[in-house]
Amino acid sequence: MINVIGLGYIGLPTALMLASHGNEVVGTDLDKGLVATLNAGRTTFKEDGLKDLFGEAVRSGIKFTDKYQLADTYIISVPSPYDNFSKKVDPRYVISAVGEILTVCAPGATLVIESTVSPGTIDKHVRPVIAARGLEIGKDIHLAHAPERIIPGNMVYELVHNNRTIGADSKEIGDRIKDLYSSFCQGEIVVTDIRTAEMTKVVENTFRAVNIAFANELCRICRHDGIDVYEIIRICNMHPRVNILQPGPGVGGHCISVDPWFLVGDYPSLAKVIDESMKTNDSQPEFVLNRIHDIMRENNLTDTKRIGLYGLTYKENVDDCRESPTLQLIKAQERHLAEPLKVYDPMVEKDLVCNQYHDFDRFLDDIDMVVIMVKHGHLIDNMEKLDGKIVLDCHNICKLPGVYHL
């Protein structure tokens, strides 16, 4: 039996996928409200294909509870944030999950950590918890690291089709966990050691963060000289060995804006490019705010109450607002002691900020200028409604005349 610990954005789809591919699965989360929602037959976030997968897993017998279970395999998918001050990974949720598992698990059980952790975390923080219980790793208990790689917005597809990495102490355990994931994963699964698996995951996200920072820096250089950054990137990317990502209003989410900091925290004198890249991405919402003020001046707009931000999530077509550039921009606006801006996001039902609208037409009625922070499909389908507004398009998706860019 498999006990999946943590039923968030990664744990839930993984548990559902395992259950609907012939595995006996119980999902555990300490959040009783979340467990009650799942037991009432409802999913807890929006994601393409998740509802169907949920239905299939329930028919296959998946169970949800707030208690750790007696199982032979555990998949740990709990948060692994970074400490704001040291920038190092904060492993407390992983440590606590491992500790709880050790009180209930079957002898010889395997603990698979899916949460992203900085290189060395398992050696430094997980092995000592096991040793302190007098258990021998490789005999009484087994360890593996299978970092997730799925992208929000396309998670269900990527769970099946992405290649994966599995780190384990021995080939035997690695191959056993590989067989488990092969029950649903059609991608190639590489078996390696735990330290390498930890590093590859963080490096993948760091590569993307640095590439986006490069695009954001280019955007500032091109703004300085009045050149079209999108055209520059488009032409450069026609070169067979160049692949620059797109500038945007900032980098959000709980991965690309977090994981690279682990390397800065652990290797402060070595991770120079990474450190600068993260600072560039983190200052992008402030850059957008300055653009808003420039455009207001150019159009003799004096009232920030008539400015609206379209999009509150960290990226398009998801409902996740963690580390969202819009939230960062609102904070920057508060630091300038300016009037709060209006906000609308069709994916966000809860009230998260003041001046948040839930009706697109009313939002548009109350503003003169709209800033496209997130390129939701909803906006692409309704773009003509922005006609007549002053538009700052942070994603180069609006083809209306007179649109401003970053």
Q: Does 119 bind ligand SAJ (CB under 6 A)?
A: no
- The 250-289 site mask, x for binding ligand SAJ (CB under 6 A), equals -xxx-xx---------------------------------
Residue count at the site for ligand SAJ (CB under 6 A)?
A: 20
170, 196, 246, 283: residue in contact with ligand SAJ (rule CB under 6 A): 246
What counts of helices (H) and strands (E) characterise the chain?
Answer: 16, 14
Instruction: Select from 127-135, 186-194, 246-254, 260-268 the region that touches ligand SAJ (CB under 6 A).
Output: 246-254
Amino acid at 282: D
Nearer to ligand SAJ, 63 or 291 (CB): 291
**Sequence-separated (6 or more) residues with CB below 8 Å from residue 245:** 208, 211, 212, 214, 215
Rounded least distance, CB 181 to ligand SAJ, Å: 15
Q: Does 152 bind ligand SAJ (CB under 6 A)?
A: yes
Residues 189-228 contacting ligand SAJ, CB under 6 A: 204-205, 208, 212
Rounded least distance, CB 313 to ligand SAJ, Å: 9
Nearer to ligand SAJ, 26 or 150 (CB): 150
Backbone CA torsion sign across 162, 165, 166, 171: positive
Rounded least distance, CB 260 to ligand SAJ, Å: 11
21, 63, 142, 149: residue in contact with ligand SAJ (rule CB under 6 A): 149
Question: In Å, what is the CA distance from 360 to each residue of 141, 350, 365?
Answer: 54, 15, 9
Instruction: List phi, psi (to 5°) of 371.
Output: -110, 120
Instruction: Select from 149-157, 168-176, 191-199, 397-405 the region that touches ligand SAJ (CB under 6 A).
Output: 149-157
Nearer to ligand SAJ, 251 or 372 (CB): 251
Q: Over the range 123-159, which residues count as b (16 or more CB within 10 Å of their CB) and which as e?
A: eebbeebbeeeeeeeeeebbbbbbbbbbebebbbebb
Percent helix, percent strand, percent coil in the chain, to nearest 5: 45, 15, 45
Rounded least distance, CB 400 to ligand SAJ, Å: 22
167, 248, 265, 311: residue in contact with ligand SAJ (rule CB under 6 A): 248
Which residue do the tokens 């329930």 mark?
58
Nearer to ligand SAJ, 48 or 140 (CB): 48
- 172/128 Cα distance (integer angstroms): 22
Q: Where are the alpha helices (DSSP H) in 83-170?
A: 92-104, 121, 127-132, 155-161
Rounded least distance, CB 125 to ligand SAJ, Å: 19
- 325/338 Cα distance (integer angstroms): 18
Q: Does 244 bind ligand SAJ (CB under 6 A)?
A: no
Question: What are the catalytic residues?
Answer: 201, 255
Quick check: 262 and 120 in contact, CB under 8 A?
no
- The 305-324 site mask, x for binding ligand SAJ (CB under 6 A), equals ---------xx---------
Q: Where are the alpha helices (DSSP H) in 226-376?
A: 229-236, 259-266, 272-282, 284-298, 325-335, 360-365
Nearer to ligand SAJ, 44 or 69 (CB): 44
301 three-state secondary structure: coil
**Sequence-separated (6 or more) residues with CB below 8 Å from residue 387:** 400
Rounded least distance, CB 287 to ligand SAJ, Å: 12
- 183/311 Cα distance (integer angstroms): 37
Nearer to ligand SAJ, 121 or 205 (CB): 205
Instruction: Select from 33-41, 146-154, 192-200, 360-368 the region that touches ligand SAJ (CB under 6 A).
Output: 146-154
List residues near ligand SAJ by CB under 6 A: 116, 148-152, 204-205, 208, 212, 245-246, 248, 251-253, 255-256, 314-315
